[in-house]
Amino acid sequence: MLALRRCYVLALFGFTMFAASQVATWAIAADPFSAEQFKAQLAAGEFAPASAMARQVQNPRERDALLVELAQAQAAAGGPALAVTTLASVESDVTRNDAVKRVRQAAPARGGAVADFNTLIDLITTTVKPDTWDEVGGPGTVAPFRNGVYVDPQGVLQRVIQPAKTQGLAVARLDALKATDNQDTRRDSALRKVSLPRLEKHLQLMAAAGRRPSEDMLHMAGLEKIQYVMVYPETGDLVIAGPASDWHRDAEGRPVSNASGRPVLQLDDMIVLLRFMKANPTGTFGCSITPTQQGLQKTKAFAEQSSAAPLKPGQRPAWLSKLRSQMGRQTITVQGVDPRTRLARLLVEADYRMKLVGMGLEDGTADVPSYLKLVSAEKGANPPPMDVLRWWFTLKYDAVQATADRDAFEIRGPGVQVLSENEMLTALGERVHTGQSEPLNSEFAQRFTKHFGSLTEKYPVYADLQNVFDMGLVAAMIQSQNLADRVNWHMTCFLDPEQYQVALGPAPQQVETVINHKVINQKFIVVGVSGGVHVQPANFVSNDAIKTDEYGKLKANLVGAKPGDLALDAWWWD
């Protein structure tokens, strides 16, 4: 009767009449909170009034505790989807994280909730001819979808050879797919914003519901690069922003933008780097590809012996083949990150293919010829002696700018450069660091750096490396500037391998040697190359290194759609 009388009074004053169910809910919510009544409603399965009672509590910590209790009751009653909806309203990520674990225990998930292929791979290798897989000494191997390279059962890095594209039904099917393209994350955007805490929250909730991350999440809403980092303490959001578009897999299986051809960001890479920088705030990650000492010794001896007499043109292919066999395979070492991750394989692939360009074994661009094309000698002069060139990728940023309040950051510069050094080679095959780079060696490295943009257009692997460098910089920035603490974000899911396991595959251990030759004045010049990737982002995001934006342009990027304006289930916006 009380609810009906209240409704009647409202009607007299010209207000719209409430529906009966709305009136009942409003009447209950107006009463003081009763713990006994709340528990009785949970026991009776009356979840709607219990939810209304919990949400009227003003203290965030107490309200979160009640919502967690409600979600557990919903899951136990066979309503995991309803429980996940309730958990979405829990403000504290730590509380929500613990609740997700309990809800998953109360209502076991139907399938995996982590972004990896290990469970499926284990199922295949234990049920399909178990004695034929590489783990037990057999010839078979299984791994996640390949990008530009893959690792064979012996741990040798191999390039993916793609078949020629065919026309017909396959093309018609892709055209039809484009015609029905959705208008969500797949639409082009000059500036897309992704909230990392909200993305993590939705991963947790999907895990509680027994679901894997969506393609949109794994590809971070189609972001092609990171231009800005934005901090919203009032809503608990830490945002990365940059251009975005629809994507597809290219000939190498790499997810790339339809608009620019650039690879889109990968969630797994971001999580690997967040974990690394959390554990090693000033640390270095990367890889190295190094010739063995024995191989260098044998190669140097063979080259010196061969130089005694000139080779006839018909003998050169056999000679070059024997030369490479002397060197043998080069050793791959990954530092800082798990070598089985996609990120590690990307570092190795980018480094290896840069060396292929340098040795003339893969085409560069008009502005980036191979090192061997740069080598010349005047008539009658001796070519340079054999040595080992060392090229490696490292960071190159013009600046990281920030607002005076450090609530917005802009990343400026290409992010990537190639450095060089000449290493002398002893008769025993020992490499001697000189700390110097000969002019032609430096010229190749400088050309590669200066024209890196054109190389990324021709070879997406280099743009992929650029994205990883940017994500490494952001992960370091989060640590050095205490950005997670400022938005009260604890990364409970991202930092926990048990909650989110990144996709793993075979670790690269060796690769075919990168060595080539050139004939100058009827003499062979033989060049080998080593190097790797060396990334230490902390120096670029220290308090002294970050420059303050004096013109207010960065502040303008905080205006517009803010996290507080978004729906509860949104984690990205334009």
- Please count the other Cβ atoms lying within 10 Å of the Cβ belonging to residue 122: 12
**Bridging pattern class, strands 510-511 and 415-425:** unpaired
More confident of the two residues 145 and 331:
331
- Least confident span in 36-45, 119-128, 217-226: 119-128
> How large is the average pLDDT for residues 112-138?
56
519 phi-psi bin (left φ>0, alpha ψ -120 to 50, beta other) = beta
Query: pLDDT tens across 307-323, in order?
Result: 666 767 777 778 777 87
Domain map (residue ranges) of the chain: 32-106, 118-565
pTM of model > 0.95: no
Rounded Cα gap, residues 115 and 113, in angstroms: 7
Q: In this structure, what are the phi and psi dihedrals at residue 198, rounded to the nearest 5 degrees?
A: -70, -40
Closest by CA position to 72, among listed 50, 55, 56: 50
Rounded Cα gap, residues 48 and 41, in angstroms: 9
Percent pLDDT > 90 in the chain is 39
Rounded Cα gap, residues 513 and 292, in angstroms: 10
Question: Tell me, what's the pLDDT at 225?
Answer: 95
Rounded Cα gap, residues 157 and 485, in angstroms: 40
- Least confident span in 62-66, 110-114, 484-488, 520-524: 110-114
More confident of the two residues 466 and 426:
466
Coil, strand, or helix at residue 189? strand
- Give domain 32-106's CATH number out of 3.30.70, 1.10.600, 1.25.40, 3.40.640: 1.25.40
Q: 339, 507 in Cβ contact below 8 A? A: yes
More confident of the two residues 505 and 19:
505
Closest by CA position to 488, among listed 120, 119, 225, 235: 235
Q: Where are the alpha helices (DSSP H) in 265-331?
A: 267-279, 293-306, 316-327
Tokens of 398: 């013009």
Question: Tell me, what's the pLDDT at 172?
Answer: 34
Coil, strand, or helix at residue 55? helix
The confidence band for 109, taking pLDDT boundaries of 50, 70 and 90, is very low
Rounded Cα gap, residues 334 and 289, in angstroms: 9
Query: pLDDT tens across 225-283, in order?
Result: 999 999 999 889 999 999 999 999 998 889 999 999 999 999 999 999 999 999 999 99
SS (H, E, C) 379-392: CCCCCCCCCEEEEE
Query: pLDDT tens across 550-561, in order?
Result: 666 666 655 555
Given a cut of 60, whether residue 568 has pLDDT beyond it is: yes
Rounded Cα gap, residues 213 and 208, in angstroms: 11
The confidence band for 457, taking pLDDT boundaries of 50, 70 and 90, is very high
Given a cut of 80, whether residue 3 has pLDDT beyond it is: no
Rounded Cα gap, residues 426 and 433, in angstroms: 11
Given a cut of 70, whether residue 515 has pLDDT beyond it is: yes
More confident of the two residues 57 and 328:
57
Q: 454, 160 in Cβ contact below 8 A? A: no
Rounded Cα gap, residues 293 and 326, in angstroms: 11
> How large is the average pLDDT for residues 99-116?
58
Question: Tell me, what's the pLDDT at 11?
Answer: 31
Residue type at 36 in one-letter notation: E
Rounded Cα gap, residues 23 and 17, in angstroms: 9
Given a cut of 90, whether residue 448 has pLDDT beyond it is: yes
102 Cα distance to chain centroid: 29
Rounded Cα gap, residues 276 and 273, in angstroms: 5
